[in-house]
Amino acid sequence: MDLDITKSLADLSCDTADELEERSCDYVRVLVSVDDVALEEYRVEPARSEFEYEHFIFSVSQVRKDGAHLVNLSCLTSPDYEWFLNTQMRIRTGPRDAVVLKVVDKDVFDFYPRCDPVSVEIMSDEVATVKFEIRILNKVVQQLPAFDRGDLTIRFNDGTSIKVFRHLLGLYSPYIKKCTEGSTITEVEDFPKEAFIEMLYHIYPTIRPIYRRVRDLAKAAVAFQATPLIYQLSKHLVNYNTRAMSLEQKLRAALDLELCQAIEELVYRAAQDGLWGHLIKLGFEPEVFFGPEVYRKVVCPAIVAGRQNEYGAPLVQKPYKKPDFFSEEVSP
């Protein structure tokens, strides 16, 4: 992949190269090296530079706000790739013309799509140079499907179309299998293309994590009844612990995403461990929260099952599994 990161002076916010150099003096000089190789800097704006490394661009931005001066390092590449970088990094600082820079921090950092940048706060006016020394420990790059091959053409409202393999979609969605049986072209009307494509990324064998665009994925999985994906989404939400979420917050998320399986499992577990009764005592009104239909068809049966079943017994005895494309064993 060739990344066009060369910028002409006309693309910059400064009128002349002299103005660019003059305004850049308000910011520290930033250096980036990967595996002991210095990367060439491309000045995009006075406060932003880019450094090219293979498929990736390391982008450095500087922000001055409320008296603080932050230097942020992020990594990006083409949206056609799913990727992950595990790195060991040393951050050095010093005067502008210093030959030897002092190590002020070192740690292991991960870069992946939409991750937070590595942020360094400049605490002293004497610091005029910041250097990020990066060593790649693990690198995963996978090009996402282009959807240009297959026996089924799918057309969208915007006039674009893609090609997919009908049998592959049928493994995940009996609904799609039934709707496309005997046809070579089908229309996906009044549905966001981005959400449908996100579902395809998880139907095809890719390394894309389920949380990348979870709302789009849930929207498509529920709409097209992709049962294995609905189960995986529900499992992800129920077991989510990346940040603290209360039971009520998880139930709200499940309701917003229309993941009835997640609602069932959350209520079932809460009924088994007594958390459901505690929530009711605090004034929680489930029929108002969920609405009469979801409360009657989903919540009430889960409460009954949670109280009747042995503690720890799973609600779903035979959970849905994603098709295994790589195993030599064939399911009966």
Domain count, the chain: 3
HSE-up of residue 122 (Cα within 13 Å, Cβ side): 27
pLDDT at 332: 43
Pair 44, 127 in one domain:
yes
Give the pLDDT confidence of 189-227 residue by residue, as tens digits. Answer: 889 999 999 999 999 999 999 999 999 999 999 999 999
Pair 167, 260 in one domain:
no
| CA separation for the pair 174, 171 (Å, rounded) | 7
**Which amino acid, residue 234?**
S
CB neighbour burial string for 278-316, b if at least 16 within 10 angstroms, e if fewer: ebeeeeeebeeebeeebbeebbeebbebbeeeeeeeebe
What token pair was written down for 270? Answer: 């809460």
Pair 163, 175 in one domain:
yes
Q: In percent, how much of the chain has pLDDT > 90?
A: 76
Q: Is residue 217 part of a domain?
A: no
Q: Is residue 211 part of a domain?
A: no
pLDDT at 97: 80
Pair 197, 231 in one domain:
no
Q: Is residue 331 part of a domain?
A: no
Q: Which domain holds residue 165?
A: 145-206
Pair 14, 139 in one domain:
yes
Pair 18, 105 in one domain:
yes
Instruction: Kindly write down the DSSP assignment for every residue of 59-107, as one continuous string.
Output: EEEEEEETTEEEEEEEEE--TTEEEEEEEEEEEEEE-TT-SS-EEEEEE
Average pLDDT value over all residues in the chain: 88
**39: pLDDT strictly greater than 80:** yes
pLDDT at 325: 61
| CA separation for the pair 208, 202 (Å, rounded) | 7
Mean pLDDT score, 233-247? 91
pLDDT band at residue 13 using 50, 70 and 90 as cut-offs: very low
| CA separation for the pair 207, 227 (Å, rounded) | 19
Domain endpoint, select from 88, 118, 143: 143
**187: pLDDT strictly greater than 90:** yes
Instruction: Phi first, then psi: give them for residue 127, nearest 5 degrees.
Output: -80, 115
Give the pLDDT confidence of 299-316 residue by residue, as tens digits. Answer: 999 999 999 998 888 887
Pair 33, 137 in one domain:
yes
Q: For the domain that residue 114 is a member of, what is the CATH number?
A: 2.60.40
Pair 187, 201 in one domain:
yes
Pair 14, 65 in one domain:
yes
Q: Where are the alpha helices (DSSP H) in 204-299?
A: 214-223, 227-238, 247-256, 260-273, 275-281, 286-290, 292-294
Q: Is residue 37 part of a domain?
A: yes
| CA separation for the pair 313, 137 (Å, rounded) | 41
Residue with tokens 């079943």: 309
The model scores a pTM over 0.85: no
**38: pLDDT strictly greater than 60:** yes
Domain endpoint, select from 106, 126, 143: 143
Domain endpoint, select from 94, 119, 143: 143
| CA separation for the pair 46, 316 (Å, rounded) | 57
Q: Is residue 156 part of a domain?
A: yes
Q: Is residue 213 part of a domain?
A: no
Distances (CA, A) of 305 to 106, 223, 281, 302, 326: 51, 27, 20, 5, 36
Q: Is residue 329 part of a domain?
A: no
Pair 61, 34 in one domain:
yes
**319: pLDDT strictly greater than 70:** no
Mean pLDDT score, 96-108? 90
Q: In percent, how much of the chain has pLDDT > 70?
A: 88
pLDDT at 67: 83
Q: For the domain that residue 186 is a member of, what is the CATH number?
A: 3.30.710.10
Mean pLDDT score, 58-68? 91
**14: pLDDT strictly greater than 60:** no
pLDDT band at residue 324 using 50, 70 and 90 as cut-offs: low
Pair 73, 157 in one domain:
no
Mean pLDDT score, 33-42? 96
**132: pLDDT strictly greater than 80:** yes
Distances (CA, A) of 52 to 33, 47, 116, 306: 10, 17, 19, 55
